[in-house]
Amino acid sequence: MALADLAKQFALKTLPDSQVELTGDIPYDTVLPYRAKALAHIAEHLELPGFRPGKVPADMALKKVGEVAILEEAVEMFVKDFYAELIEANKVDAVGRPDIRITKLAPGNPVGLTVVASVYPEVEVPKDWKNLHTEIALELTAPATVEEVQKTLDDLQKSRAPKPEEGKEPLLPELNDEFAKSLGAFESLAALREQIQKGITEEKARQAREKRRGKLIEALLLKSKLEVPSVFVESELQKILAQMSEDLEKMGLTMEDYLKRTNKTEEDIRGEFRDQARKRAKLQLLLNKIAEEEKVEADQTAVEHEIKHALEHFPQAKPDLVKIHIETVLRNEQVLKLLEGNK
């Protein structure tokens, strides 16, 4: 029987978390041609006393591992050829590696096979997503106060004080024009105060924008009914853990150190961040869909500039992967600006 015809006989069942299950039987005669190759593969990797690696005779390998083990290997080899036909025949838009289970296996009998695959979900963006920005207003922020400016000046003053002798108070430098000039391109203390006030005011505005963006994202996620494939969630979890490990290294710690100090396992950490990873994966799917519908693309001049900058700092990185990452980041930013009502 042709593989395409065999694939059409498999039963398709939809599972939660954007997965499907395909179940069916494989005629024994269809698997049998893979047996010799499977036996040779096992013999090549088997270690037996008196034989050099890769030189174990096939009959000795069969005697050692048994017929069922040979058939299991033959089925795995068969599935590598069969899987593409299986998902095409059943119109499954599969992502990631499938979970393949042999449910029944006996020499001379049909092989029972169950394949669970993650599928790319149907992504529907909320119809009113373009109006979300009208429902969530940007909080007005007040300019920096005199007290806030003075506190920053006081902190700068303390940071520039020489280390005091033991038991004595630090001798603070006088806040004057000379002090301002020592910090950079400031002609006077008044100019320094003006720059500090501007910086604090701009930071307040930036935080307000970030807060609103966060609310807009939460609203978008809340209005979206979307099942996220577990493979996407796991991918985001890996990114979160990698970033966490990098942050720990900056503090002179390893992930192992952190787990010991907190009396946690990696699975505990994965559990704590799973919901966050699911949200991140869901958001990315939505941003991809909006970008597709609105024909949003990353500016290639900006992409090339960022690639050059990234490879200067990480010369070992793969340029094609760096390009994909940068294009995604820049495209996401454009879509988020649309979400905020900016065109």
Q: How many CB atoms lie within 10 A of CB 262?
A: 10
User: What is 3-119's CATH topology?
Assistant: Alpha-Beta Plaits (3.30.70)
The reported pLDDT for the residue numbered 59 is: 87
Note the pTM of the prediction, 2 decimals. 0.81
The reported pLDDT for the residue numbered 282 is: 96
- CA pair distance 61, 70, nearest whole angstrom: 9
- CA pair distance 304, 315, nearest whole angstrom: 15
The reported pLDDT for the residue numbered 343 is: 74
The reported pLDDT for the residue numbered 338 is: 96
Structure tokens given for 193: 């105060």
The reported pLDDT for the residue numbered 1 is: 67
Measure Cα distances from 291 to 278, 297, 331 in Å.
20, 7, 7
Residue range(s) of every CATH 3.30.70.1050 domain in the chain: 3-119
The reported pLDDT for the residue numbered 50 is: 83
Q: Are 186 and 176 in contact (CB under 8 A)?
A: no
The reported pLDDT for the residue numbered 178 is: 93
pLDDT per position in the chain (343 positions), as tens? 689 999 999 999 999 889 999 999 999 999 999 999 999 999 988 888 888 887 888 888 888 899 999 999 999 999 999 999 999 999 999 998 999 999 999 999 999 999 999 999 999 999 999 999 999 999 999 999 999 999 999 999 999 888 887 778 888 899 999 999 999 889 999 999 999 999 999 999 999 999 999 999 999 999 999 989 989 999 999 999 999 999 999 999 999 999 999 999 999 999 999 999 999 999 999 999 999 999 999 999 999 999 999 999 989 999 999 999 999 999 999 999 999 998 7
Sheet strands (E) in 43-139: 94-104, 111-119
